[in-house]
Amino acid sequence: MQISGAQMVIEALIKEGVDTVFGYPGGAIMNVYDEIYKQDGFEHILTRHEQAAIHAAEGYSKISGKVGVAMITSGPGFTNAVTGLADAYMDSVPLVVISGQVPMTLIGTDAFQEIDSVGISRSCTKHNYLVTDAADLPRILKEAFYIANSGRPGPVHVDIPKDVTAQIAEFDYDFEVELETYKPTTKGNYRQIKKAVDAIANASRPLFYLGGGIINSNASDEIRELVKLTGIPAVETFMARGVLGHENPLLISMLGMHGSYAANMAMSETDLVIGIGARFDDRVTGKLSEFAKNAGVIHVDIDPASISKLVKANYPIVGDVKSVVNDMTTIAREKVDKQRYEPWLETIANFERLHPLSYNEDTPNLKPQWVIEKVGEMLGDNANISTDVGQHQMWTAQFYPFSRPRQFSSSGGLGTMGFGFPSAIGVKKADKERVSINFTGDGSILMNIQELMTSVEKKLPVINIILNNNYLGMVRQWQTLFYNKRHSETDLSTQPDFVKLAESFGGVGYVVRTKKEFEDALNDAIKKDVVALIDVKIERLENVMPMVPAGGSLFNMMLENKGDK
């Protein structure tokens, strides 16, 4: 059929099964918004800032497992969205982001709201397109969804000039994507997998090192089975929280800069790292030359460039985690004897007894870790969790009892403050049955506070739990530890009245100083079912511990929480 470029966008989104688009209109994308007005195939969620539209799409994607879709206009609309694109790129979140562009006739003339969008997004997307002819739109949109959600997932940006959205051309969406130059490997090399399992069977102290790629591959069940079958202990990265579930006896904890002592010691003592869907990030490895120094390395990843990038893999396996783990399990059934690793489990249990993840309630003020544990106790599996970035984020990763994959949406690689609230809105849209919690800080929450309006208008209630220490806490912690307590520009004592702020948008607000007040506030916020800001006044100088100082070795952890006292 012959339709306009704008109509093609709508038709393609519907055919891709999209039920939600997050976005913000503007001049260059108006033809498409005109078609959005006329259709009822998907819901459009108007955020109050383009960056929030992308983060909401990320939250939606992380919880639903579907491709997130966002739409923005040219120029400032696009540049506002760049942080979101970069965030999704770092964390391998599948997104299709469609932006308007000035008409083809004006490109290159410094026109109103013109910027070289594909030039900017090139380095922070998996792929991007500038559409120069409406006849190409069906192919490009179909490729965009395919590329975003295959191989190592990531954001794809499609920039469409205004005259192309008005141009009439033939629309046919009934074809298969055929990309000669892009064919991700999914099946791992069987002989290599067999060698890897042989190495596992011969190791004395093997350790699973589980990453976010497992969630992207929807392989958590398969991993749980393999871990149980082999009886080999596991550590999770920040991005993998929820893969094994907090009750799994073989899960040690998170590893890395703020990982547990036992997790980091296990990584330092292991003789075989079994890395699955993880990328040996610097926040995980600490000092590279000391990382798992005496260990062989198995590395399973769908992205060949992740393998041997930082840590040399002795058994590199390129493939989709799910397929490779299934093969590993089949072979392991015959070869691996779980009793072999029992002494190793005993060693790890000793590490755990020596320095368990813990905190002291040694001050009258609420401790942030208590608040997170309390939410876990009250809601547990009935909540999906977003966070912003900073101390509260690390405490959440340490202390929230995650029980399933796709329960957690946070900004890992890029570390984007302001991610949490819009993410939690997208999360609520993807899963309306569960409570959408955003653990945030008094710094981060103000970076996308305008989303109170989106949450109220679209009836997508989010409970924002502000762990308020009147500091830009993580930076303050580093200043305390490494800059001789010179707290340069991190004292955030000048604050809004968060209760009035929430109320002015039509939400609810609470100030909380005691345990009782916190429980009451959370219960009330759940009951009221509108957007909430719970301003929890916590101990100001609490540090995130344990900690591996940047560039230090995993086995050299700071353990005690001395604060500034």
Partner 1 sequence: MNEISQRRVISVIVINESSVLSRITDLFSARGYNIESLTVAPIPESKYSRLTIVTSGSLRVSEQITKQLHKLIPILKVIEHEDIVEKEMALVKFSLDEDISAIDTLAQAYNGKIVNVGDNSVIAMVADESKRVGNFLKAIQKYNPKEIVRSGAVALER
465 - beta bridge partners? Answer: 439, 534
Compare residues 127 and 487 and give the one whose CB is closer to partner 1: 127
436 - beta bridge partners? Answer: 384
Residue among 565, 499, 501 at smallest CA distance from 536: 499
Report how many residues bind partner 1 under the rule CB under 8 A: 17
Write down the residue that tokens 């220490």 correspond to: 469
- Helix (H/G/I), strand (E/B), else coil: 274: strand
User: CB of 442 within 8 A of CB of 469?
Assistant: yes
Compare residues 74 and 464 and give the one whose CB is closer to partner 1: 74
Which residue of the set 62, 126, 142, 162 is catalytic? 162
Of the residues 34, 136, 282, 303, which one makes contact with partner 1 according to CB under 8 A: 303
Neighbouring C-beta atoms of residue 367, cutoff 10 Å: 20
Compare residues 144 and 255 and give the one whose CB is closer to partner 1: 144
Min separation Cβ 437 and partner 1, Å: 35
Is 451 noted as a catalytic residue in this protein? no
Compare residues 168 and 305 and give the one whose CB is closer to partner 1: 305
Of the residues 69, 72, 90, 130, which one makes contact with partner 1 according to CB under 8 A: 130
The sheet with strand 435-441 has its strands ordered as 408-409, 383-387, 435-441, 463-468, 532-537, 508-512
Compare residues 112 and 182 and give the one whose CB is closer to partner 1: 182
Q: How far is CA 394 from the centre of its chain?
A: 13
Min separation Cβ 289 and partner 1, Å: 12
Binding of residue 96 to partner 1 (CB under 8 A): no
Is 112 noted as a catalytic residue in this protein? yes
Min separation Cβ 287 and partner 1, Å: 17
Q: Which residues inside 100-129 make contact with partner 1, applying CB under 8 A?
A: 118-119, 122-123, 126-127
Strand 315-318 relative to strand 272-276: parallel, antiparallel, unpaired? unpaired
Helix and strand counts by DSSP (H, E) for the chain? 21, 20
Compare residues 65 and 304 and give the one whose CB is closer to partner 1: 304
d(CA 35, CA 125): 27
Neighbouring C-beta atoms of residue 283, cutoff 10 Å: 17
* Part in contact with partner 1 (CB under 8 A); list of ranges 2-10, 186-194, 305-313, 419-427: 305-313
Binding of residue 304 to partner 1 (CB under 8 A): yes
Min separation Cβ 157 and partner 1, Å: 12
533 - beta bridge partners? Answer: 464, 509
Is 346 noted as a catalytic residue in this protein? no
Is 479 noted as a catalytic residue in this protein? no
Q: Which residues inside 177-236 make contact with partner 1, applying CB under 8 A?
A: 179-182
- Helix (H/G/I), strand (E/B), else coil: 289: helix
Of the residues 177, 305, 354, 559, which one makes contact with partner 1 according to CB under 8 A: 305
Strand 2-4 relative to strand 168-170: parallel, antiparallel, unpaired? antiparallel
Min separation Cβ 434 and partner 1, Å: 35
Is 162 noted as a catalytic residue in this protein? yes
Min separation Cβ 305 and partner 1, Å: 4
Which residue of the set 113, 287, 309, 458 is catalytic? 113
Write out the two tokens for 141: 């949109």
User: CB of 417 within 8 A of CB of 403?
Assistant: no
Q: Which residues bind partner 1 (CB under 8 A)?
A: 118-119, 122-123, 126-127, 130, 147, 179-182, 303-305, 308-309
Active site residues: 50, 112-113, 162, 474
